[in-house]
Amino acid sequence: MLGIIQFTIVALSVGIAFFPDEAGHVLRLWTPRDDNTIEASEGSHSRPRDISRRVVPVGCHSHNDYWRPEPLFSALRAGCIGVEADVWLFDEELYVGHTTSSLNATRTLKAMYIDPLVRLLDHQNRLTGQPPSAQQGSHSPRFTGIYDTHPEQTLILLLDLKSNGAAAWPVIQRQLAPLRSRGYLTFFNGDDTIPGPVTVVGTGNTPFDLLVANRVHRDIFFDAPLDKLVETLESKSMTHDQVIRPSTSSVSPRRSADAGQGLSGTPDSIEPSTFNARNSHYASVSLRQAIGLPWSLQFSQHQVEMIRTHVRIAHSHGLKVRYWGIPNWPRAMRDYVWRVLVREGVDFLNVDDLAAATRIQMDRLNASVDEGR
């Protein structure tokens, strides 16, 4: 009997290690909900009371956010400043879900994310009508963000586009209109990037060529391929302190419109200037593929140096570092990986367990405060 139990534990550990997303989803289904927490449910027209009171926002990215008991609001309550939605286009409507079989008429991008964000931000800014026009020359946030403790903090809405990028692009643009018309979106005005309460980032099949086509105004930013940035700079023998200047030339040919994260609609030949803060926000890559996992619960020195290189290069482009594919189990490995990434300056933890991730982020923040005393 003991042998069977040990075999079962090992088998479950291996399965969870190789399929963390699916395991995380099952665990969330069995996690009891806190009925004492007052939140707005999907489709509700009320604002959650005290959704951000005393909440300190941290670099936490809510992976597959739509799987949570309260999409969007669970992440906000935890202090995460990034949420992710897988988006599918059918009949001129954008649906949210992990697979096509999970889609239904009520789970739309508008109902689950855009409308709730509009209501939250209208309340935060005490708006009863059309807000004042954006201050084009200002680099400070033009409106109060979601978090009471840090009203200048932007929220990242990552749209992982699963359908054909070119077909979905105009629909996404139209559906963002309520946020855009109120001035709530971070945007590029042809010269500078002006921060807003919400920063929309496109990944998956988001078409880079269509994203950058408008040179004077855009309010969707790209999820740049971090591994390609590193490869490009190393092949060009550039140092991290060289100035990264945005390219003004059009490069062809381009990759397929549905090439996947960080590649859809990008030039075949990626230059150091291809991705920058004018057109991108995240620089992302799979931790497993780019760094590898610490199977002995300790990264090698080479792995740590590679993380540092990624952070240095992404920051030289003005981009935020995000690794995906971080294992949920074993928890000791997961927590070790998180702590190393936070220590080395990675901007966002891509997570399923919101409470554990924000706790590690807060531990680091508190330690930094103590070190500064």
For residue range 161-206, what is the model confidence (pLDDT) as tens digits? 999 999 999 999 999 999 999 999 999 999 999 999 999 999 999 9
pLDDT of residue 371: 57
Cα distance between residue 151 and residue 272, in whole Å: 34
- pLDDT value of residue 192: 96
Decide if 83 contacts 65 (C-beta within 8 A): yes
DSSP conformational letter for 32: P
Alpha helices (runs of H) in the chain, residue ranges in sequence order: 2-18, 20-29, 73-78, 109, 115-124, 165-175, 177-181, 208-211, 226-235, 287-290, 301-316, 331-343, 354-372
Do residues 344 and 323 lie in contact, with contact meaning Cβ atoms separated by under 8 Å?
A: no
The confidence score (pLDDT) of residue 368 equals 63
> Is the dihedral angle over the CA atoms 249, 255, 257, 260 positive or is it negative?
negative
For 51-129+142-236+258-372, CATH gives 3.20.20
pLDDT of residue 15: 53
